[in-house]
Amino acid sequence: MANIFKRDATVHEFNWDNLGDIKAGREDLGEEMPVLVYRLMQFTMLDILTKDFGPDKANEYFRRAGFLAGTEFTKHVLDLTVDLNTFLANLTQALVDLKIGILRMEAFDPDSGDLVLTVGQDLDCSGLPVTNETVCNYDEGFISGILGTYTGKTYDVREIDCWASGDRVCRFNATVTA
């Protein structure tokens, strides 16, 4: 297996197989970990990127990483051959099973493909202090990657409500752009 942790200037391209055999590697600890640990990694990474590149660029990087994750997640976890309702039901169940959040579709325009989705008990922000801002940029990319991979269309996904903005769910507008 190739070394994924090279210390030179080589580009590190994501590959699903490099996630490894988690069950074998963590036979005593298992596949789960506390949300605290996930957020510790996420928020420290965001802090460093924000300090080095500014908040707009850091958020763009998080969206891009989320998009890549959503694309790969969809290809490797979900069935792309089913109708939209079944796909969304399977996605909803996968997000619950993996303890990412509770997905609900609030609105769907069959003519345009635009959607409004909510994610309750979101991994990224549920329980955060209210700062009057939306913070789920990674989720925007993740949802965009999922929808784009399934539909073959390009989606712009923006969070319009967030736990950090004082809401109890994260709400996302997903608009087809191409």
Residue 8 pLDDT > 80: no
Boundaries of every domain in the chain: 62-176
The CATH H-level (homologous superfamily) assignment of domain 62-176 is Trafficking protein particle complex subunit 3 (3.30.1380.20)
pLDDT for position 1 = 47
CA dihedral sign of residues 84, 96, 32, 128: positive
Contact 113, 153 (CB under 8 A): yes
pLDDT for position 2 = 52
Q: Stretch 91-103: mean pLDDT, rounded?
A: 97
- The structure tokens listed for 42 are 């996420």
Q: Helix, strand, coil: what percent of the chain each, to 5? A: 45, 15, 40
> How far is residue 79's CA from residue 151's CA, in Å, rounded to a whole number?
12
> How far is residue 58's CA from residue 62's CA, in Å, rounded to a whole number?
6
Q: Which residue has the tokens 């069950």?
A: 23
For the entire predicted model, the pTM comes to 0.92
The lowest-confidence range among 3-17, 62-76, 96-110 is: 3-17
Q: Stretch 78-106: mean pLDDT, rounded?
A: 97
CA dihedral sign of residues 35, 41, 44, 50: negative
Per-residue pLDDT reduced to its tens digit, 22-59 = 999 999 999 999 999 999 999 999 999 999 999 999 99
> How far is residue 43's CA from residue 161's CA, in Å, rounded to a whole number?
19
